[in-house]
A and B are shown apart, each in its own frame.
Chain A
């Protein structure tokens, strides 16, 4: 345990020097996806102009394939301009199992994504409707949930309770973060309990499942929304397709574990196109507005 405390103190000192707030303000534009000016759409193989991605809401203009999006872009496209205030800052990810290379990995993702972790949340308004909005970023270590993500998700629910607001969470995650071992697993219980607390207050929780949402996130807060929406074509499931294929020793049918499949099986309320998302969310928020007095 002494070793853990020592590591803890080292990270604390380093983090003090790092100045997270400044890093965040340097955010410019999307990472990873647009490697060149023109890219081939992975679905229809047509050429897509990546510089116009924001205009097309990060979808393919030929086949409407929904590409992955950064959390910051998602927030900009979802909430009213200027209304978002990020909360829950200043968290520092630690390495409880002393996994070799994990500290470096976190640092490199922080540099690449300009985020401190795979989840951001805060206050926002959608067409004038106030809410708490949280977004997972799959570009940060596959959006996996470790101690910090679990804590921030929990805090976002607690913030929503404190403000008596509805909450919307966009999920995108490969599941629990293996590098943090049992601590990651326990975040599933922690976040689910936080959803319950929020729900007990009679408040609305909308979860929006985006590509990909699997593992420990699917098996906790992602599937606990009062209303569960999904983007078209998103991979959503508990076990990953490869694990299932290895277990049952056959290839999986086309469209298995995609949004359309889940809709058919009765696990999501609606598939919402990205173009319609903001409108749909604002309408749902409007329906649940608390009448004063």
Chain B
């Protein structure tokens, strides 16, 4: 039984509750609901978290922005080709701190998903992001990115306009932007499409967000030649927030309510807001040269391998 099945069971208990009139029964079923939440809906598997990260009702980037910012002005376009709806960007004020926010935006309806392209950006989306980040650098504004994408869009137009180059340029420039950057994965952190907004001083994840090199379905079909093994793939890929924190890839986790962020969005937004304020203040106090040095070292040290140092032998001739 995965989390979605459990959610359905919870829903049926809740509908039972609505039709009930007997007070004693109500108390007992309320107790049953609480027990069910605490026993069945905690200790999630990696696959459960994949399902929650992609959940239909999961809050999207705009929901976070609306809650966290006292005010927000969206800025459009890459100045080269067009405005990409799958990435939104702009300037906002969080608790008195003016920041540039860049976010991958999923749609909530079919129509919105068409304009948002299911949050799968084209090169122009990444170039818009870079334009706004460089603008933030000019005006010494910290940057907050919200990551939620299945991946960069694989299509003819995207290739023609240099998807690879656009992503690479963001990684390259973000590694040396002179303002603090916080990246927060709120849902799906899909591969290079996510990383292109993910080079930061602090990388955070919501508890049920995922971050991986490709989808579990893709992993299972490429490495195991069987896409139906996606749930097993999710377990071994180390894509949950807890796995990634253990591997020191990310710096922190923002807890979600039982059942996922959509069970209590306001609580999730508030926690997120407080965490971001805290991190912004901490990063603002770091000297610029130290900040850049730290950011470089942060990525420099990622890798899992062993080495014997043969350098002192002077290398070998071929």
B212 interface neighbour in A93, A181, A215, A219, Cβ under 8 Å: A181
**Distance (whole angstroms) from the CB of A84 to the closest CB of chain B:** 5
Asked if A90 is an interface residue, CB under 8 A from chain B, the answer is yes
B158 interface neighbour in A84, A92, A239, A256, Cβ under 8 Å: A239
Residues of A within 8 A of B306 (CB): 8, 11-12, 15, 91-92, 94
**Distance (whole angstroms) from the CB of A162 to the closest CB of chain B:** 11
Asked if A182 is an interface residue, CB under 8 A from chain B, the answer is yes
Contact in complex: B305, A182 (CB < 8 Å): no
Residues of B within 8 A of A216 (CB): 192
B:146-162 near A, CB below 8 Å? 152-156, 158-162
Contact in complex: B172, A193 (CB < 8 Å): yes
Residues of B within 8 A of A151 (CB): 303, 305, 307
**A82 to B, closest residue via Cβ:** B317
**Distance (whole angstroms) from the CB of A109 to the closest CB of chain B:** 15
Contact in complex: B168, A221 (CB < 8 Å): yes
Q: How large is the interface on A (under 10, 10 to 19, 20 to 34, 35 or more residues)?
A: 35 or more
Asked if A197 is an interface residue, CB under 8 A from chain B, the answer is yes
**Distance (whole angstroms) from the CB of B243 to the closest CB of chain A:** 8
The CB with the most chain A CB atoms within 10 A, among B191, B303, B315, is that of B303
Asked if A59 is an interface residue, CB under 8 A from chain B, the answer is no
Q: State in angstroms the CA–CA spacing of A85 and B164 once bound together.
A: 31
Q: A76-B318, A193-B175 are in contact. Are A183 and B303 (CB under 8 A)?
A: yes
Sample 26 A-B pairs with CB under 8 A, ordered by A number.
Answer: A21-B310, A90-B310, A98-B236, A122-B315, A147-B303, A148-B305, A151-B303, A190-B300, A192-B172, A192-B175, A193-B172, A193-B199, A193-B296, A194-B300, A196-B173, A215-B192, A218-B164, A219-B164, A224-B169, A224-B172, A237-B164, A238-B192, A239-B152, A239-B159, A244-B154, A256-B156
- The interface of chain B, by Cβ under 8 A from chain A, is 152-156, 158-165, 167-169, 171-173, 175-176, 191-192, 195-196, 198-199, 211-214, 219, 222-223, 236-239, 244, 246-247, 249, 295-296, 299-300, 302-311, 313-318
